[in-house]
Amino acid sequence: MADEPVEDGVGPEAPRAIVRTRSMPSIVWLIPAVAAFVGLYLAFWAWSEQGPSITIVFDSADGIVAGTTVIKYKDVDVGVVESVELDEDLSQVNVTASMVKELAGYLTDETRFWVVKAEVSASEISAVDTILSGAYIGMAPSQNGKRTRVFQGLEKAPIIRPDKAGTLFQLRATELGSVDVGSPVYYRWIRVGQIAGYQLAEEGESVRVQVFIEAPHDDRVRSTTRFWNASGLDAVVTAEGLQIDTPSMMAMLVGGIAFETPATVTVAQDVPENMVFELYPNKQATRRPRYSLKTRFLLYFEDSVSGLVPGSPVEFRGIKLGEVLDVDVELDRETNEMRIPVVIEIEPERLGLSVEELDEDPTARIESMVARGFRARLLTNNLLTGQKAVDFDFLQGAREQEIVYGRAYPVLPTATGGLDAITTRVARIVDRVDQLPIESIGANLDDVFESLAATMGSIEEATAAANADLLPGMTATLERLEQTLSSADAMIAPDSALALELESLVGDLSQAADSLRIMAERLEEHPEELLRGKSE
């Protein structure tokens, strides 16, 4: 710009600033923008890498420390405990933990958590390493079920885990016995599984035991497999002596279950998971037939039931049908008499009754049997101990009776018999003997014996007189008879005259017989000589 002239002695005009608007922001703002972007990126990365937060409810926080206790799966850290707080009602402990994001899809209502710490029991010693490193929370993830973030912790590690292959089966037993969760399952006395749990059946008359058989041994379980309680000694007396069968001393202490698949006529087939098998009390019981249907009846006995207790056998001609469940006493209010009710449980299939027949009408066939004299009696099984049993049989001439209904169980008719009946009869005979007039009978016998003695004296006197009068004559007669026999003997002796004459006579007769034979033969050849005579 050229300088302008100065007017009125005044110098040149001062310069003025010119303001221009920029089209681009200043580079100074780039630095905070980059810093903000990096911060947001780091925050998003941290949020995306962060796993889900879950809550595990335990009965106790024993061994759990916030910020220290970790959650492991296959010995890999997959989470850490962040806080440990009591529930509102102080009954449980809420453990909050953060998990790695890779397990977000495995947190369902079937996922299990439990505290792992050192434990010493009769069966095993586990988690010894936690004595130094501290307890941790074990985990069994699962993709099955619904997604959740709240879990109920277990007191012990579950037997069935996703990382352990095998099959779960159900066992039905009358009682649990000495087995417990974690007790071993044996095959040929090799440990192949564990007891996963047990519970009482809905009807309350049996126990369901869950057993987990590890692969590949679960393929050995077939439709004909037999399970039995292997706890304690299994002893049986046979013709060869005493046989004892037990897996090990450990099984005697902690209990256990064993199984085998015996050779049977029935073809063994594959079975599905949760197949129900019978649990036998011992190995010997597996060799006896077992029936599923059982029926209860009520019996009333008039005889003494001493020696009859719950568990006593119920038999039919020596074959076991069931057992006695209860023996009691009750008052009949109508007759004011005491009665002894006995509750028995039998297996009708042992009597040849089919399952279909029992389903249609359980007591129809038994009613016909009762009409033919089917009765229950008390039988003494052991004379030394006095143990008794209930014995059924068809009695000839039994009075007609029927099954009585209307009570808790059908009432079957009974009869007296066996050793008790004999004892009762002997007792009645003794009572009758006691009622006899023994003293008067003895006095009469004394009189009879005196009369008999007098009679014997008279007989002796008569005998003496007979000896004096008859013996001399009889002696002479016998002498004459002897002389006669001697004469007869002399006549028939071989060298006597009579014998010689008889021998000559026999010879003559023999010659005559020969002549007659020759004549008969001549006449047979020449019959005409009878008319003309013998030709010259």
469-512: per-residue pLDDT in tens? 666 767 777 777 777 777 766 666 666 666 677 777 777 778 87
Spatial separation of the C-alpha atoms in residues 51 and 103, rounded to whole Å: 8
Place of tokens 């335990």: 58
Are 72 and 137 contacting, i.e. CB atoms less than 8 angstroms apart? yes
- Residue entry with tokens 């004469």: 487
Alpha helices in 436-496 (DSSP H): 438-491
Report the C-alpha gap between 316 and 376 in whole angstroms. 9
Residue 83 identity (one-letter amino acid): S
pLDDT at 4 > cutoff 60: no
Rounded Cα gap, residues 22 and 20, in angstroms: 7
Q: What is the mean pLDDT of residues 120-127?
A: 58
Pairwise CA distance, residues 434 & 445, whole Å: 18
Measured between alpha carbons, how far is 41 from 53 in angstroms, rounded to an integer? Answer: 22
**pLDDT 10s digits, 439-475:** 777 777 777 777 778 888 778 777 777 666 666 767 7
Phi and psi torsions of 317, nearest 5°: 55, 45
pTM value is: 0.49
pLDDT band at 239 (very low <50, low <70, confident <90, very high): very low
Neighbours of 436 (CB within 10 A): 9
pLDDT tens-digit map of 147-158: 899 999 888 778
**pLDDT tops 60 at residue 380:** yes
pLDDT computed for residue 373 by the predictor? 87
70 pLDDT band (50/70/90 cuts)? very high
Which conformational region is residue 204 in: left (phi greater than 0), alpha (psi within -120 to 50 degrees), or beta?
A: left
What's the rounded Cα separation, in Å, for the pair 449 and 440?
A: 14
